[in-house]
Amino acid sequence: MTVIVEVPEELSARVPVEQRGPGLDRDAVRLLVSRGTAVSHHAFVELPLLLRAGDLLVVNTSPTLAAAVGGWIGHARVVVHFSTRGDDGRWAVELREPDGHGTTRARAGAPAGTEVRLVGGARLVLEEPLSARGERLWWARVPGDVLGVLREHGRAVRYAYTERDQPLSVYQTVFALPSPDGAGSAEMPSAGRPFTARMVAELVSRGVQFAPVTLHTGVASGEAHEPPYPERFVVPEASARLIGAVRAGGGRVIAVGTTAVRAVESAAGADGVVRARAGWTDLVVTPERGVRVVDGLLTGLHEPEASHLLMLEAVAGRAAVDRGYEEALRGRYLWHEFGDVHLVLPG
C-alpha cells in the first residue's frame, strides 16, 4: 500500500464550494493534474483545455439516495445507513449512533434478530452480516416500501468533517438519472460533482465524448477502510461500443470517479474488450490486477488508508500517486466529496 502523510483536519472540505462565496458554482474547485510524476496545478474550469478531441469520459449516472434514517433499538437512538438493496428484497444496512454534533460514529454490532424502529413507524430486523470480513454491514429484512421511507424521512449520508446537513440536491451530480427501479447510491459518485451543464456543453463542443455507465455505490467505511463490497452496475451496449471505438481510434478512456473504473473494468474481458454487462460486481481493482481499459482517471482526494488509492495506483503507478498527493498536501488542496479533484493522465 502506498504510504502517504496524514491529511490535516483543516484540509477537509466542510461545505460545497458554491457555498463558500458569492458567485461560485460547482466548477469553482481546484484541479491537480498528474502525468506520471509531473504535476501541474489548475482550476477545474480549465478541464476542457486539458483534454483533447477524441477523448472519452466515462461517467456514472447513479443518483444519490437520502439513505440515512433515524431510529431506535429499544430506547437507544441509532442512525441507519441504507447501503444496497439485494435481489431478494433485503437491504444491506449499517447501524451508527448519533455523536451529538449532528453526525454519527461507528457503533458496535447488534446480534441477529435485533429489531430497529425507524422514524415514521417502519421496522427492520437484522438477519446476518453481509460478509465474513466483519459486522459493519448487515442484511436486514424491511417490510414495506423502503424507498418511500427514504424519500419521506431520509437525508443524505453525512460524515463528521462536514459542517451541516445539506439538501439532497447538493449530492446529485449533473449526470444523475432516476433508476427505473428507484435504486441509487448511498453515497454520491462525487468525482462528477464539479461538472456543470455549461462545462459538459463545452467539452462536447471540443470533441470530448461521454459514455454513461451506472454503479450504485454502497456506504463506504469511514473508520475501517475496508475494500468495497459487491455493488450493482450496468454498462449499456451503446457505451461498450463507444469505448471500443475510441480505443480503436487512439483516443483516451478517462473514468470520472473510481465507481466508473469499477463498472467499466468489470465489463472488460481478459482481451480488454468491453461488452455490455449488468448485475453485481465484486471486482477490486488493485495494482496486481491492473486496468484493462481505463487510461486516465478524474477523482477526488481520498484518505491515505482508503482502498481507492489502490485503484489509483493501478491506473497511475505508485510513484505518480505519491508525487500527486505530496503536491496536493503542499498546495493545500481540499479533501472529500466537496473538495478539489485530481486528474491522472498517461505520462
208-230: pLDDT as tens digits: 999 999 999 998 765 556 778 89
| Predicted pLDDT at 224 | 57
Distance CA 226, CA 345 (A): 27
Answer whether 217's CB lies under 8 Å from 229's CB.
Answer: no
The residues, any chain, with a CB within 8 Å of residue 298's CB and separated by 6 or more, are 57, 191, 254, 255, 256, 257, 341, 342, 343, 344
Work out the angle at residue 180's Cα, subtended by the Cα atoms of residues 120 and 338, and round it to the nearest 5 degrees.
70
| Predicted pLDDT at 166 | 94
Is the model's pLDDT at 1 over the cut of 50? no
Which triple of cell numbers denotes residue 158? 453525512
Is the model's pLDDT at 7 over the cut of 90? no
| Predicted pLDDT at 240 | 98
Distance CA 241, CA 246 (A): 9
Q: What is the pLDDT of residues 188-200, one digit of tens each?
A: 999 999 999 999 9
Is the model's pLDDT at 102 over the cut of 90? no
Q: What is the pLDDT of residues 309-347, one digit of tens each?
A: 889 999 999 999 999 999 999 999 999 999 999 999 997
pLDDT cut 70: percent of the chain above it: 95
Neighbours of 5 (CB within 10 A): 9
| Predicted pLDDT at 223 | 54
Quote the pTM value.
0.94
Is the model's pLDDT at 158 over the cut of 70? yes
Q: Over range 256-279, report the average pLDDT.
A: 97
